[in-house]
Chain A
Amino acid sequence: MLAVAVSSFFALYVLGPDAFSRVVLGFTLPRRSVNLSRSEEVSRALIWAVASFSLAYLWASLDGSLAKTWNPGLFKVWFSGIDSEAYFSTHSEVWFGSLAAVLKLNRCLLLRTYAVVFLLSILLSILTHFYGVVRDSLPAWTWLREAFAAIVLPRVAPWHVLLSKLLLGDRSLSIHLDILTKADMLYQGAFADKTLAADGSLVSVTLANPRRFDREAYVQEKENGTKPSAELFWKKIPTNMFLVMASEIATVNLRYLPRDRSVRPLKAGSPDLTDLLKAIGEQVEEAKRQAVNGPAFTFVNNAHLSI
């Protein structure tokens, strides 16, 4: 009975918090995008267990619940009963009475432990979902940002880092890919989705608004002596879900562009660009005014001619 009791406590207080946190965090960071070694898994489980239990113990102490459920005499009876069959046989009535006290204490601590785990997991999920935004708002100290990454993000698969918008501070940016396949085909498109294997390796990439480069026609034009623009040889593919299997990919180029392909998001953090856009705006207004009223020198010239 002692072994059963110890195993149960171990499962509830040590393994449970980590497992529960993974379920909550799994909504933000899919499990297969996380690559932890066995020792890192154990360390993380222990940290969750110690941190959540400590906070739960503090909580129960401060609100008086621990004092109300703490009964050392009954705990002693309970422990003696599970440790010795002989004691249990002769004191079974008293033992069952002590069981209620033990259950009450554990309910007090476990409810608070899992509540703390839930709240911390929600906080970590929010920080993970808005990781790029929060990171950009931190002071630009490398050690601080690295510490933030170490606390918030577990060991994330490289492909999830590279092909994931949740790490981008500027949410108006989107990822565009240029993919050269092993069959020497060049594709371009906006990143739509990816599939990762259980070990975090890339299985496939899905492109939206894809297009293919007609290299044969381009080379043919060049051989004819003309200097063709490469842009003319991109052919649109009529789909929004173009899958490229990772096994077929030779190289990938990642580009980060504003989602609406406009200049506006780029002016953030660039006073020079903002000033230039203002100056262009004034010139455009002046150009429109001249188009409506005519330029001032035309009136002067006509007056001169009339004289």
Chain B
Amino acid sequence: MNGSQIESVLQLIDQNVDITRQETLLYLREHQAEVVQALARTGRATVKTTAGELSLRIEDLTAAAA
């Protein structure tokens, strides 16, 4: 691959990650109440995306507020 081909692949990777980010945002908005309850109860919630399941922990919320 030359420079412009590598750049194209890297842009696809960026879009790939961005899709996961958008799906995470959408999931949290649609399931906000369940996520809040799970976090309050166990300190942990699961976010489902097409790329795979991600975990959301209380520490992540603290880091966001910082």
Contact = CB atoms under 8 A, between A and B. Distances in A.
Nearest to B28: A276
Given A148-B3, A283-B36, A287-B36, 16 more contacts: A145-B10, A155-B2, A158-B5, A158-B9, A168-B13, A176-B51, A255-B16, A261-B53, A262-B56, A264-B59, A264-B64, A266-B17, A270-B25, A273-B21, A284-B40, A284-B61
Interface of B: 1-7, 9-10, 13-14, 16-17, 20-21, 24-25, 28-29, 32, 35-37, 39-40, 47, 51-65
A267 B56 CA distance: 12
A281 B13 CA distance: 30
B60 A277 contact: yes
A141 B43 CA distance: 42
Counting from the closest, the 5 A-B pairs by CB-CB distance are A149-B3, A281-B61, A150-B3, A277-B64, A287-B40
Given A162-B9, A281-B62, A270 B28 contact: no
Contact of B13 (A256, A264, A284): A256
Which interface residue of A150, A276, A284 has the most chain B CB atoms within 10 A? A284
Nearest to B56: A263
A201 to B, nearest CB: 13
B52 A261 contact: yes
A158 B39 contact: no
B40 A256 contact: no
Contact of B6 (A167, A255, A288): A167
Nearest to B57: A262
A264 B29 CA distance: 16
A258 interface: yes
Interface residues on A, range: 35 or more
B7 A263 contact: no
A230 interface: no
Interface in A113-155: 132, 135, 142, 145-150, 153, 155
A132 B58 CA distance: 30
Contacts of B60: 262-264, 277
Nearest to A272: B25
A213 B13 CA distance: 25
A124 B35 CA distance: 46
29 contacts: A132-B10, A147-B3, A149-B6, A153-B6, A157-B1, A158-B1, A176-B52, A254-B16, A256-B16, A256-B51, A257-B54, A261-B54, A262-B54, A263-B24, A263-B55, A263-B56, A264-B60, A264-B64, A272-B25, A276-B29, A277-B56, A278-B64, A278-B65, A280-B39, A281-B62, A281-B64, A283-B36, A284-B61, A288-B40
